[in-house]
Amino acid sequence: MSQSAKELSTKEAASKLQEGNVQFIDVRPIAAYNGWKLEGEPRGGHIPGAKSIPLQWTDYMDWVEVLEEKSIIPNNPVIIYGYSVDETNAMAEKLDALGYDKLYTYHSFTDEWAANESQPLDNLPRYQQLVYPDWVKQLVDGNNPPHYDNDDFVICHSHYDHIEDYHRGHIPGAIPVDTNSLESTETWNRRSPEELRETLAQLGIRHDTTVVLYGRFSSPTFDKEKFPGKSAGHLGALRSAAIMLYAGVKDVRILNGGITSWETAGRSLSAEPISPQPIENFGAEIPGRPEVMIDTPKAKQLIAADDGELVSIRSWEEFIGNRSGYHYIEKTGRIPGAVFGNCGSDAYHMENYRNFDHTMREFQEVEQTWKEAGITPDKHIAFYCGTGWRGSEAFWNAWMMGWPKVSVYDGGWYEWCSDPQNPIKTGLPKEPSTQEKPLAK
């Protein structure tokens, strides 16, 4: 244990929580931080305001950069807690070596803080839809993992016209799902209700089937690859999940971090192809959740509305019109009135919505960034990008946060710029905001 770290009681830790400059660090797995009770604790979640820095991350060479990103400042008091004394002390030692000299450890989170209803806890409202490797393993092995009350599930390995990615290795029991079966290859919008009904039936998915989706992450190079989307399988999984939710699948789940998290957990992959078990009927009307997807007329209404926002989940270079972001889209620029939601570097990366291990970024960080741009849960928020993939990932963030009115503008930039009647803006937006709200409809 760090010689400079002082151990706190629950009373002392609760008192520190009221001090504005104190920083709590939760070293447990992200799943526990989000709300999963991985060690049988009475209540799931994390201490309000705590930052998620799993001890596992310290095995990565560049993990120290996370401290800066999360504003963990050496001059401020830092309180570390987790599941075990050893893990908490291990993080204290690492921070001590980095020059943090106001360190505290708290070892009673599970048996005192989580066990006391009067102590506050935060969690991701729909954390059950963001599952972790051991949860999926329990499902594959025929057991009933937490928050699963069903006897019908399908695990989907998502890819974009790249079945070789599935054959390279997949989670045992998973079937391949080509995003082309859910999207039109002409417009890249979701397919018609009739087509979705047929696709889902062929995949063996009913409205009451539990569906777990994941993909493989790699780093496509836009300027060197004709089809960069083939290397963005997990982004495609989130797109597929949004379309399935729209169709009416009641229980859609994402493996946090995709196949990377499965491999990092030491789980083996399979090369044995699994064929879907088709069914006769989806069992419900499609779309079951029509509000998940909006089209251009509704997008225009949101741009003009006081209680709505159209949010561009694109890179800054795309937003100001320096590039379209896609080989097959010529026009550049942005939709006037849209708010900049900043995906990251390009059309196939979501750095600003993910941790460096490809898991979803701490939800409060995303929410705070949105709040600064005027993207708040009291409004109807519709996310868009070029063709729906990045917009779908941002949608999932908001939906899992429990935001009541969130959608994907399915047509996105591709559909908008294809109509010469639609206005386009380029160049830097007016300061200080990246929002250009029109005065009237």
Give the domains, in start order, of the chain with CATH numbers: 6-123 (3.40.250.10), 128-288 (3.40.250.10), 291-418 (3.40.250.10)
Residues 345 and 235: their CA atoms lie apart, in Å, by 14
Question: How far is CA 441 from each of CA 233, 304, 408, rounded to the nearest angstrom?
Answer: 38, 5, 21
Task: Give the residue carrying structure tokens 């996310």.
Answer: 383
Query: Torsion over CA of 97, 102, 105 and 109, rounded to 10 degrees?
Result: -130
* Structure confidence at residue 440 (pLDDT): 29
For the whole model, what pTM was predicted? Answer: 0.94
Cite the DSSP H helix spans in 207-357: 233-247, 258-264, 296-304, 316-319
Cβ-contact 360, 353 below 8 angstroms:
yes
Tell me what pLDDT residue 370 has. Answer: 97
- Rounded CA separation 136/255 (Å): 8
Contacts of 164 (CB under 8 A, 6+ apart): none
Dmax (CA) of the chain: 68
Q: CA angle 341-343-349, nearest 5°?
A: 170
**Three-state DSSP class for residue 368:** helix
**Helix or strand or coil: residue 80?**
strand
Coil/strand/helix, residue 95 = helix
Q: What angle do CA 133, 134, 137 make, to 5 degrees?
A: 90
User: How far is residue 286's CA from residue 364's CA, in Å, rounded to a whole number?
Assistant: 33
Which residue, among 238, 240, 247, has the nearest Cα to 283 in the 3D structure?
247
* Cis amide leading into 429 (omega within 30): no
Positive or negative, the Cα torsion across 136, 349, 61, 103? negative
Output the pLDDT for position 220: 61
Whole-number Å distance between alpha carbons of 347 and 388: 10
Residues in contact with 286: Cβ distance below 8 Å, sequence separation at least 6, in sequence order: 193, 196, 197, 247, 248
Backbone φ/ψ region at 290: left (φ over 0), alpha (ψ -120 to 50), beta: alpha
Nearest one of 198, 169, 286, 242 to 392, comparing CA atoms: 242
Q: How far apart are CA 253 and CA 87, in angstroms?
A: 29
Confidence at residue 346, expressed as pLDDT on a 0 to 100 scale = 83
Tell me, what DSSP letter sits at residue 292? G
Helix, strand, coil content of the chain in percent (nearest 5): 35, 15, 50
Nearest to 197 by CA among 85, 256, 284, 313: 284
Q: In what order do the strands lie in the sheet with 175-178?
A: 130-131, 251-255, 210-214, 153-159, 175-178
Which residues participate in catalysis according to the annotation? 385
**CA angle centred on 186, ends 351 and 339, rounded to 5°:** 40
CA distances from 350 to 10, 186, 243, 331, 367 (A): 38, 24, 19, 22, 15
CA distance 297 to 295: 6
- What pLDDT, on a 0 to 100 scale, did the predictor assign at position 396? 98
Residue 49 gets the label, from left (phi > 0), alpha (psi -120 to 50) or beta, of left
Q: Which residue has the tokens 């000299």?
A: 101
Tokens of 240: 């597929």
Residue 119 DSSP SS3:
coil
Residue 20's pLDDT is 83
Q: How far is CA 155 from the centre of its chain?
A: 18
How far, in Å, CA of 69 to CA of 60, rounded? Answer: 15
Profile the chain (441 residues) by mean pLDDT over runs of 10 residues. Answer: 82 93 97 98 97 97 94 95 97 97 97 97 98 98 97 96 94 97 94 98 98 86 62 88 98 97 97 97 97 97 96 95 87 96 87 93 96 97 96 98 98 96 94 45 28
Q: How far apart are CA 346 and CA 349, in angstroms?
A: 6
Q: Is residue 133 exposed (0-12), middle (13-18) or buried (19+ Cβ within 10 Å)?
A: buried
Residue given tokens 């196939």 in the structure block: 348
